[in-house]
Amino acid sequence: QDLIQESTNTRLNQGHPCFSTGRHQKAGRIHLAVAPACNISCNYCVRKFDCANESRPGVTSKVLKPEEALQRVIEAKQSSMGQYLNVVGIAGPGDPLANPSTFKTLELVKEHFPELILCLSTNGLLLPEKIDDLVRIGVSHLTVTINAIDKATASAIYSYIRWKEHTYIGFDAAHILLQNQLEGVKLASQEGLTVKVNTVVIPGLNDAGIPDLAREVKRRGADLLNLMPLIPQAKFAHRVPPSHEQIQELRKQVAPILPQMTHCQQCRADAIGLV
């Protein structure tokens, strides 16, 4: 219980169920699965499922067009849970920033429901170049999945990145991705967005580096850290996921550095309801 610390950070615990240090509030979110494409390759990802950075793999979400996504929000707001629905998030099935539909959808939602909180989750590769668009549209909550801050670890987690029409692998890929993720966190925080970092815990690969990662993203302005257990699949199918105790232990270690999210449900890209 000591992990669920009350945060003194005034950006947290303000009505967004994922940007809180506990299940304090009756607040819900709807995910709009408008973003099928991805621009990197995480070794734990099976592309026929939703983005494994935020989602529990299982069934692929049906990809919606922006107008269909708006319709989903309208229907959800009219449903019995409509009164609790205060967050609209885009979390996949691929990387939201790599899909023009994401921006169109967020604009439509903002136009029709200006009171709803807009949220987005990304691998961060395109964050420095897209941050102005997010600010213009009014996205207030951002999640960046950062699994390592050193190139050796990162290059063991990502097979490749696609950036500015080139494919990069190994240390080159890691260098560009890490630079953009960290710069993106800094820019987003400076623009006043509330920033959460999701980290997929992969025992024996990135777990020892997590305290350094927490310190670095805090330095860049992150508000909250969400340690998520690896779901072993794809190239990492043979890896052993962390136990509940390992995750608890890590959270205890980094809680003095950054507030911890402890109630993440590893949602699907089309999830709806309370968190």
Name the residues that contact ligand SF4, by CB under 6 A: 38, 40-42, 45, 51-53, 94-95, 123
Contact present, 45 and 52 (Cβ < 8 Å): yes
DSSP string, 168-203: E-HHHHHHHHHHHHHHHHHHHHHTT-EEEEEEEE-T
The item of ligand SF4, ligand CLF, none sharing an interface with residue 143, based on CB under 5 to 8 Å by kind, is ligand CLF
The stretch near ligand CLF (CB under 6 A) out of 43-51, 57-65, 83-91, 146-154 is 83-91
Contact present, 36 and 94 (Cβ < 8 Å): yes
State the number of binding residues for ligand CLF (CB under 6 A): 16
Residue of 73, 97, 119, 201 interacting with ligand CLF (CB under 6 A): 119
CA distance linking residue 189 with residue 132, whole number of Å: 12
Shorter beta-carbon distance to ligand CLF: residue 20 or 206 = 20
The item of ligand SF4, ligand CLF, none sharing an interface with residue 233, based on CB under 5 to 8 Å by kind, is none
The item of ligand SF4, ligand CLF, none sharing an interface with residue 265, based on CB under 5 to 8 Å by kind, is ligand CLF
Shorter beta-carbon distance to ligand CLF: residue 72 or 174 = 72
* Minimum distance, C-beta of residue 19 to ligand CLF, in the bound complex (Å): 7
Contacts of 166 (CB under 8 A, 6+ apart): none
The item of ligand CLF, ligand SF4, none sharing an interface with residue 38, based on CB under 5 to 8 Å by kind, is ligand SF4
Counting contacts by CB under 6 A, is residue 87 touching ligand CLF?
A: yes
Counting contacts by CB under 6 A, is residue 268 touching ligand CLF?
A: no
Residue ranges that bind ligand CLF, judged by CB under 6 A: 18, 29, 31, 54, 87, 89, 91, 119, 121, 143, 226, 264-267, 275
